[in-house]
A and B are shown apart, each in its own frame.
Chain A
């Protein structure tokens, strides 16, 4: 089942505005990560927040995590046209392989398409 689900699916804003994207998940996690993907490119890691953290900042990015609600948000402040991309949340949760080995597995959501108009 899909672990991370993002909302909204698409977001269109003007340059200078803030953009907020939300992610909900279903099971306990080790950490939650946000990635960005420009059209035709690979995913690029933005920020990681661990399950015992509530908020994290990196430049114009602010991520919050509410483990009681199993949700996270990514806020991009003072957006720029160059922020136009797809944004994915990914949850790291413990899985058990067929042989009994436990390991962390990253599961990606469907993504939010952000368009920032100049």
Chain B
């Protein structure tokens, strides 16, 4: 099993540019989580999808952030326009989730985003 795959692994961009992060779930998993990790704020949940449907997007910082699941195995997180304060490591994680119980989450290697 290849595990959760994220791309790119590193992204350096200039303020105002659009950034798209990508994530491929583990085959058979039905839940996807996008997290952001910074020294100041730790690991924050941005959005949670279950069976392709966004369940909780209360962690999405603002309208500049959007996330989609065009199919059951793939997701994108887009930031438009990007700002320096968006610099962080972005992780996605997947699991097999029953609605009322979150079991082990499998994390991808992360995308380190730097916005200049």
A14 at the interface (CB under 8 A from B): no
User: Which listed residue (B33, B97, B99) contacts A101, Cβ 8 A?
Assistant: B99
Q: Give the complex CA separation of A97 and B89 in angstroms.
A: 26
Tally of B interface residues using CB under 8 Å: 26
Contact present for B56 and A30 (CB under 8 Å): no
Query: How many A-B pairs fall under 8 Å by CB?
Result: 72
B91 at the interface (CB under 8 A from A): yes
Main secondary structure of the interface of B (DSSP, over half): strand
Contact present for B100 and A105 (CB under 8 Å): no
Listed A/B pairs (9) with beta-carbon separation below 8 Å: A30-B101, A41-B110, A43-B93, A43-B105, A101-B99, A103-B48, A103-B56, A103-B97, A104-B100
Given contacts A94-B100, A104-B98, A108-B45, 18 further A-B pairs with CB under 8 A are: A30-B102, A42-B4, A42-B109, A43-B93, A45-B104, A45-B105, A45-B106, A48-B104, A88-B43, A90-B105, A101-B55, A101-B99, A103-B97, A106-B33, A106-B45, A106-B102, A108-B42, A108-B43
